[in-house]
Structure 1
Amino acid sequence: MTPDWFAVVDATWPAADSRTDGTLTLREGRGGGKRVSAASASGAVSEPQIEAAEAAMRQMGQPPLFQLRPGDEGLDAALAGRGYSIVDPVNIYACPVSQLTDLPMPRVTVFALWEPLAIMRELWAEGGIGPGRLAVMDRVKGPKTGLLMRHQDKPGGVAFVAIHDGVAMLHALEIPPHQRRKGLGKWAMRGAAFWALDNGAHTLSVICTKANEGANALYRSLGMQLVGEYHYRLLQEERQTA
């Protein structure tokens, strides 16, 4: 059975609060980024619904922001007509966990641990992943872990992984500039796969923006398949950081 990729995203990177009003789900992100702040639709959406959602998001201190999924063409057109622009088109990749557990892990390359160590929080902060996004990680209810990569006895990167319905999804992969181009991204994904296998997951998945050429190349090089995509619509005069 094909996983519900958007349910996996919501469970492994959850909003601070959410509520459904008819065919629209509104999310309160509290500084956790677009994924936890965007409204999404489960069916046709009327103009009055859009207007009510805009007012509700502003009341939450968030700019009006919608996540557009396959099948949302009508809402996409309506938002374009209201002056919304497309931001951050996203790819979803996945592969069987077994595909990335075929090679043994080198010693002391990837450590899986939760709660995050201070050095992990520092690495995330250097990559722009601050308290709002760390709070998202804390909210995850299911199995979860942080990954700390090391290279030549120095911190090499950090990531977060959580599981929903047999699917492990990796988020917040950050490798500092001086540790890039050393294969740590691949070992991060393999480390995530081993942790996922140990915790009962059958699939490993990850999301990244289409503009991130390095990340897309990494996931394709590992044989991960494109299984979904989406984009956001945001009012032009109210842009926020990714």
Structure 2
Amino acid sequence: MTLAPLFEAVDATWPAASRTPVGPWILRDGQGGGKRVSATSATNVAQPSDIPVAEAAMTTRGQSLLFTLRPEDREIDAALADRGYGVVDPTNIWLAPIARLTDVPVPRVTAFCIWEPLAIMEEIWAKGGIGPARLDVMARAGEKTGILARWNERPAGAAFAALHEEICMVHAVEILPEQRRQGVASWVMRAAAFWAQARGAQQISVLCTQANTGANRLYSSLGFETVGQYHYRQKDAQKVP
């Protein structure tokens, strides 16, 4: 699979409030939902000489100067570095066939697929910094579910999954600190896979910052493969969470 369908699935399953073409750029309005829904991206005709167009448009809108860079954006990436933009959050794109995660049934009362989110799910997300603005991002997605995990007879974690065509994207995986390193996240991912498989999905994908070594090890152990990366560039004085 090429990366284009995966980036389309990211935009569809973790959607910005709006996406606006400006010259050879796509500007996103995230309304506080984080970098993924706020960063400007290049179309396939954008050139380094077009960067001022994007900067002017973001400034006019009162947005931070923030770009997302994909593998094909090497020249723009280098030009942004020359303009003083720093790299933020290099991120791995993990992908697996759905069947790789549906070979083992999820134990009873371990993970539940629920939408709308329960209050306990919102509390778990909040502890990981996933607040109301990101819940609004979830609400904008199409076919979706939340996942509530239980372990040791207590709430253990929460996640969000949504579908785009035959791809299930999993976002906002948050396991409570006292419930980590017990396999909870594995059951969350398997629950997402079973939910997606029942709706015709063929692939399951998750994004993970390269700095999150524990989560990257988890996805590798589940049979995911790294199929690509992306990162952001932004001005140091204009941080976006």
Into which bin does the TM-score normalised by the smaller protein fall?
A: over 0.9
> In 2, are the aligned partners of 1:5 and 1:228 still within 8 Å (CA)?
no
Shift of 1:20: 1.0
Shift of 1:22: 2.6
Q: Which deviations, in whole Å up to 9, do the C-alpha atoms of 1:86-137 show, x marking residues without a partner?
A: 1100100011111111011101000001000011111111110001100000
- 2:200 maps to 200
Shift of 1:56: 2.4
Shift of 1:171: 0.1
Give the aligned residue type for 2:195: W
Residue 217 in structure 1 maps to residue 221 in structure 2 = no
Q: Which deviations, in whole Å up to 9, do the C-alpha atoms of 1:158-214 show, x marking residues without a partner?
A: 000000010000000000101111100111111111011111101110001011001
Deviates more, 1:40-49 or 1:11-20: 40-49
- 1:32 maps to 33
> In 1, are the aligned partners of 2:91 and 2:231 still within 8 Å (CA)?
yes
> In 2, are the aligned partners of 1:44 and 1:75 still within 8 Å (CA)?
no
User: Percent identity, aligned pairs only?
Assistant: 55
Q: Could you tell me how far apart the structure 1 residues matched to 2:88 and 2:2 are?
A: 27
Q: Could you tell me how far apart the structure 2 residues matched to 1:174 and 1:104 are?
A: 21
> In 2, are the aligned partners of 1:93 and 1:207 still within 8 Å (CA)?
yes
Give the aligned residue type for 2:175: I
Q: Could you tell me how far apart the structure 1 residues matched to 2:236 and 2:150 are?
A: 41
- What secondary structure sits across from 2:105 in the alignment? coil
Shift of 1:236: 1.8
> In 2, are the aligned partners of 1:44 and 1:74 still within 8 Å (CA)?
no
Shift of 1:152: 1.9
- What secondary structure sits across from 1:122 in the alignment? helix
- 1:5 maps to 6
What are the ranges of 5 or more consecutive residues in structure 1 without an aligned counterpart?
none
What are the ranges of 5 or more consecutive residues in structure 2 without an aligned counterpart?
none
Q: Which deviations, in whole Å up to 9, do the C-alpha atoms of 1:3-50 show, x marking residues without a partner?
A: 611101000000011111232111011011100001111224345632
Q: Give the direction of change, closer, same or farther, for the CA distance of 1:9–1:153 in structure 2 (3 Å limit).
A: same
Residue 64 in structure 1 maps to residue 75 in structure 2 = no
Q: Could you tell me how far apart the structure 1 residues matched to 2:168 and 2:70 are?
A: 21
- 2:82 maps to 81
- 2:180 maps to 180
- What secondary structure sits across from 2:92 in the alignment? strand
RMSD (Å) for aligned C-alpha atoms: 1.3
Q: Could you tell me how far apart the structure 1 residues matched to 2:76 and 2:14 are?
A: 24
TM-score, normalisation: structure 1: 0.95
> In 1, are the aligned partners of 2:48 and 2:76 still within 8 Å (CA)?
no
Shift of 1:240: 2.3
Q: Could you tell me how far apart the structure 2 residues matched to 1:30 and 1:147 are?
A: 24
Q: Could you tell me how far apart the structure 2 residues matched to 1:178 and 1:144 are?
A: 27
Q: Give the direction of change, closer, same or farther, for the CA distance of 1:131–1:59 in structure 2 (3 Å limit).
A: farther
Q: Could you tell me how far apart the structure 2 residues matched to 1:61 and 1:179 are?
A: 40
Match runs of 1:87-102 below 5 Å? 87-102=88-103
- What secondary structure sits across from 2:31 in the alignment? coil
Q: Could you tell me how far apart the structure 1 residues matched to 2:147 and 2:61 are?
A: 32
Q: Could you tell me how far apart the structure 1 residues matched to 2:73 and 2:98 are?
A: 31
Give the aligned residue type for 1:165: E
> In 1, are the aligned partners of 2:22 and 2:57 still within 8 Å (CA)?
no
Q: Could you tell me how far apart the structure 1 residues matched to 2:110 and 2:191 are?
A: 9
Match runs of 1:91-130 below 5 Å? 91-130=92-131
Q: Could you tell me how far apart the structure 2 residues matched to 1:69 and 1:147 are?
A: 29
Q: What is the number of residues matched between the two proteins?
A: 240
Give the aligned residue type for 2:96: C
